[in-house]
Structure 1
Amino acid sequence: MRKIKDEAPQLSIIGWRETLSLPELNVGRVKAKIDTGARTSALHAFHCQEFPLEDKTMIRFQIHPIQRNNQKTVLAEAELLEYRKVRSSGGHAQIRPVIITTIKLGEQQWQVELTLTNRDVMGFRMLLGRQAVRDRFLVDPSQSFLQSDRQ
């Protein structure tokens, strides 16, 4: 059994789902599933279009931030980091655009990599993977909304 060192930093505890914001993408609230089985985080996005801006490649996309609501749409833009092959929980590989953006959860705010994919058929519009929570939070899978309120 692995011991936790006395000098280890105190980590905040989050539940298996939390409400967070993506300020750089103009998303004030999005309910996210915390998934330590997923390496990277994913955001529901559609109508993705690349475009050049100065010496950068940007991506413009639309987001439905509210579960089971396809009426509210947010138009967002971010610098395209790369395209990455991601294997879904069902075992299907997909090439997805990757961006870096700021996430705000509770009192913490930090940069994460997000893959953009259509999550219309999924229960949550966002998945927060283990890279995003590593060294920042401990996950209590029996709890919800420990760092946020319900949407």
Structure 2
Amino acid sequence: MRRVKRAEQTTVGWREWVSLPELGIPAVKAKMDTGARTSSLHAFNVRAFERDGRAMVRFEVHPIQRDSKTSIRVEAELIGTRVVRSSSGHSQRRHVIETVIEICGKSVRAEVTLTRRDVMGFRMLIGRKALAGAFVVDPNRSFIGGWPEGVERPRRRKR
């Protein structure tokens, strides 16, 4: 493995808008989670099936937080299943796909597990395997890559 020079790494905030172009998902808010090894995506109605001898998975995604009306139906090649342990110690078997993730104008190919994230603050977590070598996370900043067109910025709360 070649060592990446810091100048080649892109700085990202602890939360960013990312896109998953191979899955047809133009924008989803994600948390850069250096504590998680693998990336995970909120998915529901997950069904594994076979097409032309290849393992596939079909699922739906609510890409926007607090919006259960907007959904995107996705099909992707299934590369396997994996038992993932949460920070609370709970284990869950998840389907795993591989796809391109675009963050702040840079693309990486990464494994992504599919799980229900309804009650979680972010629809997607970007784990350290996807971040390694390509990105540096600045925990003091958010949305360095900007906001996607058509997505409304939330108003600041008065304190």
TM-score normalised by length of structure 1: 0.92
Partners of 1:40 and 1:113 within 8 A in 2: yes
Which residue does the alignment assign to 1:75?
73
Which residue does the alignment assign to 2:5?
8
Task: Give the letter aligned to residue 77 of structure 2.
Answer: E
User: After superposition, what is the alpha-carbon deviation per residue over 1:115-140, rounded to whole angstroms, capped at 9, x for unaligned?
Assistant: 00000010000000000000001111
Partners of 1:105 and 1:148 within 8 A in 2: no
Task: Give the letter aligned to residue 133 of structure 1.
Answer: L
Alignment of 1:116-131 (within 5 A): 116-131=114-129
Task: Give the letter aligned to residue 56 of structure 2.
Answer: M
**DSSP-derived class of the 2:22 partner:** helix
Partners of 2:12 and 2:104 within 8 A in 1: no
Q: Calculate percent identity across the aligned residue pairs.
A: 49
Which residue does the alignment assign to 1:94?
92
**DSSP-derived class of the 1:96 partner:** strand
Alignment of 1:1-150 (within 5 A): 8-10=5-7, 11-149=9-147
Give the drift of 1:12.
1.2
Aligned residues: 146
Cα distance between partner residues in 1 of 2:38 and 2:80: 14
Give the drift of 1:147.
2.4
CA RMSD of aligned residues (A): 1.5
Give the drift of 1:108.
1.0
